[in-house]
Amino acid sequence: MKIIITGSLGNISLPLTQELVKKGHSVTVVSSDAKKQAAIEQLGAKAAIGELEDVDFLIATFEGADAVYSTIVGGNYFDHSFDLDVYYHKLGTNYLNAINETGVKRLVHLSSIGAHLPNGNGILSNTYVVEGILNKLAGVKLTFMRPTSFYYNLLGYIHGIKTNGSIDTNYGTEAKIPWVSPIDIAAAVAEELTEPTGVKIRYVASEELYGNETAKILGAAIGLPDLQWKLISNEEALTNLTNIGMNPKIAAGLVEMYGALQSGLLAEDYFKNRPVEMGKVKLADYAKDFAQAYHQK
């Protein structure tokens, strides 16, 4: 198969590319960074260097492809002029137009947990919008991958652990957090691209844990066995994000998103349609990478 992978050599796209190349597929990796071309080619894939905002580039890249893996990447959350809503809408529309123009018949799009909600889910309302845009495709076998909370998002708490001795956030005590490894996402995407299950929506998760269980595993890995997961208010969480310079609108969207995870709203559809099998990479496995990053900072 000729397969197009967006997302450059990111946390999902790298293992996805490696697996597809290993299985003998012709893989083209889209990247905006020309410096990544050599690394992409070393994997046995072709590089398409260009911007996702350029629909003509996408059309040229998608031409003749059997399948496309699309994702929305990039965006500087600390740029106060960056409009996340506009960015998502533009890229979703570009994918729609590129698929329509080239006649690609198989699309696997990386969406997110919470994409079933038009509002109340913070920044993830954009995934609802993009799913709506791509649902306009006709004659295309379409699957929305809805991963849960990424393990590597926990890296954002390293500074707080070192400063306060705890993980302070506005979720994780009332409802379990469904965590996921990018490696497990890549495996699921590869399956949908090459041996599709026929589902329209597929959730991907690796392990479900409460915040205190998460803290215990991470604490053991970094030498802080008594590490605590502490619930703070939405107001405190927002202040913490804006104090480090984050775009205020995006910061508010993140706080609302995590608040919805705390209330159970964000994951309600996930728990109704959870994966038949959890991924192979557990938090204890990822904790080794977390500990390495923790001790390097």
Distance between alpha carbon 97 and the CA centroid of its chain, in Å? 23
Q: Is the pLDDT of residue 87 over 80?
A: yes
pLDDT of residue 267: 97
Confidence of residue 30 (pLDDT cuts 50, 70, 90): very high
Task: Answer yes or no: do 25 and 130 share one domain.
Answer: yes
CA separation for the pair 22, 43 (Å, rounded): 9
Asked, for residue 48, whether it belongs to a domain, the answer is yes
Task: Answer yes or no: do 194 and 235 share one domain.
Answer: no
CA separation for the pair 69, 193 (Å, rounded): 8
Task: Answer yes or no: do 188 and 213 share one domain.
Answer: no
Q: Report the pLDDT averaged over residues 44-51.
A: 98
Confidence of residue 145 (pLDDT cuts 50, 70, 90): very high
CATH no. for residue 36?
3.40.50.720
The fraction of the chain above a pLDDT of 70, given in percent, is: 100
Task: Answer yes or no: do 116 and 217 share one domain.
Answer: no
Q: Report the pLDDT averaged over residues 99-119.
A: 98
pLDDT of residue 55: 98
Taking only the tens place, the pLDDT of each residue in 244-264 is: 999 999 999 999 999 999 999
Asked, for residue 134, whether it belongs to a domain, the answer is yes
CA separation for the pair 231, 170 (Å, rounded): 5
CA separation for the pair 60, 2 (Å, rounded): 14
Task: Answer yes or no: do 24 and 53 share one domain.
Answer: yes
Contact 3, 65 (CB under 8 A): yes
Confidence of residue 297 (pLDDT cuts 50, 70, 90): confident
Distance between alpha carbon 119 and the CA centroid of its chain, in Å? 19
Structural domain including 285 reads: 208-296
Asked, for residue 158, whether it belongs to a domain, the answer is no
Average pLDDT value over all residues in the chain: 97
Q: Is the pLDDT of residue 283 over 90?
A: yes
pLDDT of residue 158: 97
Asked, for residue 161, whether it belongs to a domain, the answer is no
Q: Is the pLDDT of residue 74 over 90?
A: no
CA separation for the pair 166, 162 (Å, rounded): 8
Task: Answer yes or no: do 192 and 227 share one domain.
Answer: no
Domain count, the chain: 2
The fraction of the chain above a pLDDT of 90, given in percent, is: 98
Q: Report the pLDDT averaged over residues 143-160.
A: 97
Q: Report the pLDDT averaged over residues 234-243.
A: 96
Task: Answer yes or no: do 120 and 199 share one domain.
Answer: yes
Task: Answer yes or no: do 197 and 259 share one domain.
Answer: no
Q: Is the pLDDT of residue 112 over 90?
A: yes
Distances (CA, A) of 113 to 90, 128, 144, 272, 294: 21, 10, 10, 12, 27
Q: Is the pLDDT of residue 99 over 80?
A: yes
pLDDT of residue 17: 98
Task: Answer yes or no: do 60 and 197 share one domain.
Answer: yes
- Residue 195 exposed, middle or buried by CB count within 10 Å (0-12, 13-18, 19+): exposed
Confidence of residue 62 (pLDDT cuts 50, 70, 90): very high
Asked, for residue 145, whether it belongs to a domain, the answer is yes
